[in-house]
Amino acid sequence: MIPEQPQPDPLDGYLANDRDAVHAARPDEPVEAQWDAVRRRIHDRLNPASPVPGSGRWRAAVCVAVGAALTTAAAVAWIAFAPAPTQKPEIAAVRSVPISPETPADPLAEFAVLPMATANEVDISRVPGSGWLPVGSDPLPGTLSLATTDEVELDDPDSVWSQVTKSPGDAPMIFAAKPR
């Protein structure tokens, strides 16, 4: 006797995106007449009844001509009847408004930069009692360059540091000076 296999739960199948279960749970489809009505309305909205060829173009040409004539007439009337200015209007002195200084040229543009830290790796703490609050854009929007490659010299490691290498794949390390 073959033991009965437990029927898979259709809801579990639906949740697991089992295609048979999803298919079984599909809502009823509209009948063809409903589809056809939707299709026709889409056509009507995308292709509204087009105007009689030619008549629209003719009407537009008349509108343009009438508009141009009215504009010309108004311009002539303005020139003919506008009062002449008796005195020159004083031009108010334009106050000089300080503008933000131009972005200074990048002093490191010509150098190959040795990145030491990114903005995310640096915390800026306000110094208590400093008396001023820096405002403006993020002073560290990108890489914080502490030195250029020309300013760093790599010496051969001392033989006592057997694990120290000069290979370029090693991360740069800075050793704090030992207080004396």
Residues that bind other proteins (CB under 8 A): 10-11, 14-15, 17, 22, 24-30, 34-35, 38-39, 41-43, 45-47
- Which lies closer to other proteins via its Cβ, residue 11 or residue 73? 11
- Least distance between other proteins and beta carbon 141 (Å): 24
Strand partners, 64: none
Kindly tell me which of 48 and 168 has the beta carbon lying closer to other proteins: 48
Query: What is d(CA 35, CA 44) in angstroms, rounded to the nearest whole number?
Result: 14
**Closest distance between other proteins and the C-beta of residue 36, in Å?**
10
Helical residues (DSSP H) of the chain, grouped into ranges: 10-15, 19-24, 32-46, 55-81
Q: CB nearer to other proteins: give 31 or 91.
A: 31
| 19-22 long-range Cβ contacts below 8 angstroms, 24+ apart | none
Q: In angstroms, give the least distance from the CB of 47 to other proteins.
A: 7
Q: Pull the structure tokens for residue 175.
A: 């050793």
